[in-house]
Structure 1
């Protein structure tokens, strides 16, 4: 587990380094990161759906969520350049976690306090 966390930290640091060295390529890189992570944004009438396939970090581990935040933020900004989103006075945010029943049980995570 420590090796995976170190690899995640290194990947985020590498992304920051690449974006600092070539800021003009940042948006292209973040688009590729969002695509590679499978981030999808859809709108059906008044329902906005954001899909993050298997990307949420474990709740009890204090890891840098930049690997998810930066590509997600890019995807949202990119979506808004093409689509308009309604402004809501009130809304409900729902998290639906869908797991492949053929996968291991230990990947099912507790996000009730998200």
Structure 2
């Protein structure tokens, strides 16, 4: 498989999407993509979480106790086809929202959806 740099640009997002495609993940299928925002205080995280809920976003909020610093994480769950331009647009929006609420954008990820034809049995 040859990499199409228009579909998978040579940057972090393009590299992740390319790796997903190389691993056999069907990028034409919708995935639940998780975007993360990080905050230094519970109060800031809660204000941002309330804003995101008003924007009708599906979120979770938790304290990252494994972090060296006391950090609160908001995860936003978006069900979408993992397309480069859409991910970049959402990253820009979430970066702006995080900054407006005293936090920072902390990246995205999703579960891989890889199916082996042999795993699907016909009855």
Give TM-score scaled by structure 2 length: 0.28
Q: Which has the higher helix share?
A: 1
Higher relative contact order structure (alpha carbons within 8 Å, sequence separation ≥ 6): 2
Q: Which has the higher strand share?
A: 2
